[in-house]
Amino acid sequence: MKVWASHLAVVALLLALGFLLPPYHATNMARIMVLAVFAMGYNLAFGYTGLLSLGHALFFAAGIYAAGLPIWHWGLGAAPALILGLLGGGIVAGVTGLLALRTAGVSFMIVTLMFAQAGYLTLLYFNGVTGGDEGFALPASGRMLFGADLSTDLPRYLTAWALFSATFLATLALVRSRFGRVMVALRENEERARMLGINPFTAKLAVLVLSGAASGLAGAAYGVLFGYAGASFATIQYSILPMLYVLLGGAGTVAGPLLGAVLMFALIEVANDLTSAWLFIVGAVLVIVVLFAPKGILGALRDRFFRGLP
């Protein structure tokens, strides 16, 4: 009960921030919540199940294009586009998983990386349809959700908040369920899990589909909320990004991806104001975190103070 209360408090706090923050920070918070959805999806695979993927940019891009292309070419609305994004990410993750899950560990990482790279090049190759490396701006008609204009501040914030909250609470329910314990069992000792009657391939495939669906939803949300889709979202940079959020906030914690996304966003803002070598500062901070808090901030807090933190 305490766990649900604390996580609902986070959701309530984020809702309040939408009305309290000045426009600049509210827009950034909307961005952070969308990216946190992406990181929560990544966390299901990496943090809870131990699937170290370098291909999640493919699932994010699958979502942004599954939503963006029908809007751009056929004038689809935002609501069906978001659903298509969710499905697009899940389906692409499923197909990728069917092949990539035949490997494990470093091999899995490399195979997922190769799939993502192939996806990126496919987007470039069919640039007549996808807009290629340049990408495309989504028309205003595709950014309307139940009569609300997602290019304006409050509807955008509330939509990002709703998607974040749904993913956040669903993740909490999932990791506290029986299947959540299966995920952790696979991460901790796959052979023992197999001995207990769990089919590792099926379970990991299911996790990857859920992870990809969340990533796809985040991609679709980014497209309709901020009005742009482009192949750069399929580059390796966007596979590393959710990993950094998860590592910083705490792998295998429900709130870690949000914390990581907030801190990373703030770190980039502050470092950018201090020096043109801001990437160096960001890198140094990450090295320090990995050295002194290898389980991330919430992971370290869980070890020391909050043993029951999911």
Partner 1 sequence: MTNFLMPSRRALLKGAGAGLLALALPAVVGAQAAPIKIGFQLHRTGIGASYGRWYERTATAALKLINDAGGIAGRPVEIVFEDDATDPKRGAEVVDKLTQQAGCDLVMGTLFSHVVMGSAPRAGELKVPYLVCSEGYHVASGALNRWTLQPGITDVRAQISTMAPWVAANLGKKVTMVFPDYAFGHDHRDFFTKAMAEQGGEVIAQIAIPPTETSFTRYFPQIPAETEVLYHVMVGPAVLTFVKELGEFYGTGAKPALFGFVDSLEAVDTATPGLEFLEGSHFWEGHPRVKPADAGEHEAAYRAAVGVDDNGASVSDAKDVSTYAHMFSTWETLYFIKNAMEAAGYTGPADRQKLVEAMEAITDLPYGLEHPQGAKRFNGKTHQVFGSQYISQIQSGKLIKVHATTIDEGLYPDAVDYTAMSF
117 versus 167: smaller Cβ distance to partner 1: 117
Q: Smallest distance from the beta carbon of 212 to partner 1, in angstroms?
A: 20
Please choose, from the candidates 50, 197, 221, 73, the residue with its C-alpha nearest in 3D space to the C-alpha of residue 136. Answer: 73
179 versus 265: smaller Cβ distance to partner 1: 265
29 versus 255: smaller Cβ distance to partner 1: 29
Q: Note whether 114 binds partner 1 by CB under 8 A.
A: no
Task: Point out which residues pair with 145 in neighbouring strands.
Answer: 148
CA distances from 242 to 287, 293, 302 (A): 16, 18, 21
What is the amino acid identity at position 116?
A
CA distances from 92 to 79, 194, 236 (A): 20, 26, 16
- Binding characters for partner 1, 29-68, by CB under 8 A (x = yes): --x-------------------------------------
Q: Hey, how many other C-beta atoms are within 10 angstroms of the C-beta on 254?
A: 26
Q: Which residues in the 13-32 window bind partner 1 by CB under 8 A? A: 22-24, 27-28, 31
Burial 215-233, CB ≥16 within 10 A → b, else e: bbbbbbbbbbbbbbbbbbb
Kindly state the tokens that stand for 265: 């966003």
Q: Which residues in the 157-216 window bind partner 1 by CB under 8 A? A: none
Q: Which residues in the 247-286 window bind partner 1 by CB under 8 A? A: 269, 272, 276, 278-279
SS3 50: coil
- H or E stretch including 137? strand 136-137
Q: Which residues in the 279-298 window bind partner 1 by CB under 8 A? A: 279
- Binding characters for partner 1, 127-166, by CB under 8 A (x = yes): xx--xxxxxxxx------------xx--------------
Stretches 39-47, 53-61, 91-99, 231-239: which one binds partner 1 (CB under 8 A)?
231-239
Please choose, from the candidates 3, 4, 36, the residue with its C-alpha nearest in 3D space to the C-alpha of residue 264. Answer: 36
Q: Smallest distance from the beta carbon of 198 to partner 1, in angstroms?
A: 38
Q: Smallest distance from the beta carbon of 124 to partner 1, in angstroms?
A: 4
CA distances from 288 to 44, 54, 94, 244, 285 (A): 24, 22, 35, 13, 5
Chain residues in the site for partner 1 (CB under 8 A): 22-24, 27-28, 31, 117, 121, 124-125, 127-128, 131-138, 151-152, 222, 226-228, 230-233, 237, 269, 272, 276, 278-279
